[in-house]
Structure 1
C-alpha cells in the first residue's frame, strides 16, 4: 500500500515520531504529495516503460500480428538520510518543560532531514555523490519530456507552460514544482493575460496556488542560478504524476525512525537519532517533465 508521509503519520501511536514526520512534511513541499512504498532489501529493481505496443484495425480473415511493449531495466537504491540531536543534560534538568525542550531540538533536526531530502529530490546525482539518490534532474532525460527555452535560456511564456504540461501523460500532472522567482513570473504572465492563478486552502491551512487546476508548489531547493549556455541565472520547473507503476514514487525501508541513543560518554547530553532509508523511483518517463533555462 502506498501512503504519503502525512497519512502514514496518522497511523502511528508514537507521538514523538508523529511530530517528527509532521515537521518533515511541513518543511518539504513535495512530501505533501509524494506517495511511498515499502521495499525489502536495500534497492528496488524495476522495469521502466519505454514504448507501448501498437494496435491495428483488421478485416475478417486477416492475419493478426503480435505487438509487445518495451521496457528499460532500472535500479533505485535506498540511501540513508539522518542526523543526531543532542539535548544537554543540564538544560534538560533545569528547563521548565523537558518535553518542550526535547521537541524543539528534535524538530530542528527533523527540518534538516527535510531539507536534505528536498535537495536530493531535485538535484541528487549518485554518480557525483554516491550517498545521494538520483533526483528529478537526473531521472528526466528523455528529450520528449524536456521543454527547453533555448541554448542560453529564455523567457517563460504561457505557450511554453502549456507545451510543458502536455508532455506529462496520461492526463494532467498532479503538481507543478518551481522556485519562488518562477512562481512570481507565472503570476505576472497570468495577470498580463487578464487572469490570475486560482487559490485554495490545503489540509495544512496553507493558501496554495493553482495553474489550470494543478497545484503550484514552490521549493527553495530549486535553484535560480543554474547555468544554461552563457546564462548562469536560469531555473528549472518540474511537473509530475504520482503512482505505483504509473508515475513517481518514493521508496523506503522502515519509514522515518526516531530512536533514543542515550547518554553520551564524552558529553553531558542525551542523544536522539533521526534516520530514514529512502530513495526515488520514476516508473514511467512520460509521468514527469521539466522546463529548463527559465530566465528572470
Structure 2
C-alpha cells in the first residue's frame, strides 16, 4: 500500500510538472507545457482576461498547425464554462469512452482533458481569477513524453536500523519534448 501511495505521488508530481514545470526555478524539473509554449502560439482573452467564447476556443484550435489538436487541457472550471457555452448554443459536448473505459468529453472531435494543476487564480493584467487552456498534438513531430530506460522503477533500499520496517525508493526520470512549436498553443486569461 505504501508503494502504491508513493507511485501516486510520483504520478501527481509528473502531472504538475507537465503543466507548470520550470527548470530555472527547479533544476531537477523539466519545462512543462506552460513554459514550452511559444509566445507566438499564445492567445489572450484580453489585457485583463475575459469570458470564454466558443469563437475564441475555435481560434485556439486553429492556432495548432498541421491538423486539429488531439487534446484540449484545462481546469475543471474551464470545462464547466465550455459545457455551459455548448448548452447555451443548443448543443452538448460529445461523450465517449476512452481506451481504458473512462468517460471523456469532446469538443469538435477533440478530447477534453482536465487537470487540477491548471490554476484558476492566474493573474492577467489586473485580474487574478484567470485560467489557461492548452491545445496540443502528440507524437514524434509534435509534443512527446520522454522516459528514462526502465520507466518507473521501484528499488528496495532495505531494512531500517531503528525500526521494524523496510524502505523503498521510486525513481522515474521523465521529460517532454516539443519537436514542433506549432503543435502546442495556449489561451490565457480565461475568466469565470
Structure 2 partner of 1:194:
90
Matches of 1:271 and 1:206, distance apart in 2: 34
Q: Deviations over 1:59-109 (max 9, x none)?
A: xxxxxxxxxxxxxxxxxxxxxxxxxxxxxxxxxxxxxxxxxxxxx221111
Check whether the contact 1:142–1:285 (CA below 8 A) recurs between aligned residues.
Answer: no
Classify the secondary structure of the residue corresponding to 2:173: strand
Q: Is 1:243 aligned to residue 178 of structure 2?
A: no
Structure 2 partner of 1:284:
180
Q: Deviations over 1:135-166 (max 9, x none)?
A: 011100232x1111111111100000100000
Q: Is 1:129 aligned to residue 26 of structure 2?
A: yes
Choose which of 104, 111, 119 in structure 2 pairs with 1:215. 111
* Larger radius of gyration between Structure 1 and Structure 2: 1
The alpha carbon displacement at 1:206 in A equals 1.3
The alpha carbon displacement at 1:197 in A equals 0.3
The alpha carbon displacement at 1:186 in A equals 0.2
- Unaligned 5+ segments in structure 1 are 1-103
Classify the secondary structure of the residue corresponding to 1:112: helix
Matches of 1:289 and 1:267, distance apart in 2: 51
Choose which of 181, 193, 198 in structure 1 pairs with 2:77. 181
Matches of 1:151 and 1:268, distance apart in 2: 59
The alpha carbon displacement at 1:178 in A equals 0.4
Structure 1 partner of 2:5:
108
The alpha carbon displacement at 1:273 in A equals 1.4
Structure 1 partner of 2:35:
138
Classify the secondary structure of the residue corresponding to 2:11: helix
Structure 1 partner of 2:17:
120
Give aligned pairs, total.
Answer: 191
The two structures have a TM-score, normalised by structure 2, of 0.96
For CA contacts below 8 A with separation 6 or more, give which structure has more relative contact order.
Answer: 2
Matches of 1:113 and 1:146, distance apart in 2: 29
Matches of 1:120 and 1:114, distance apart in 2: 10
The alpha carbon displacement at 1:266 in A equals 2.6
The alpha carbon displacement at 1:232 in A equals 0.7
Within 5 Å, give how 1:1-296 maps onto structure 2: 104-143=1-40, 145-244=41-140, 246-254=141-149, 255-296=151-192
The two structures have a TM-score, normalised by structure 1, of 0.63
The alpha carbon displacement at 1:260 in A equals 1.4
The alpha carbon displacement at 1:280 in A equals 1.1
Check whether the contact 1:153–1:228 (CA below 8 A) recurs between aligned residues.
Answer: yes
The alpha carbon displacement at 1:248 in A equals 0.5
Matches of 2:159 and 2:185, distance apart in 1: 48
Give the ranges of 4+ consecutive aligned residues of structure 1 lying more than 6 Å apart after TM superposition: none
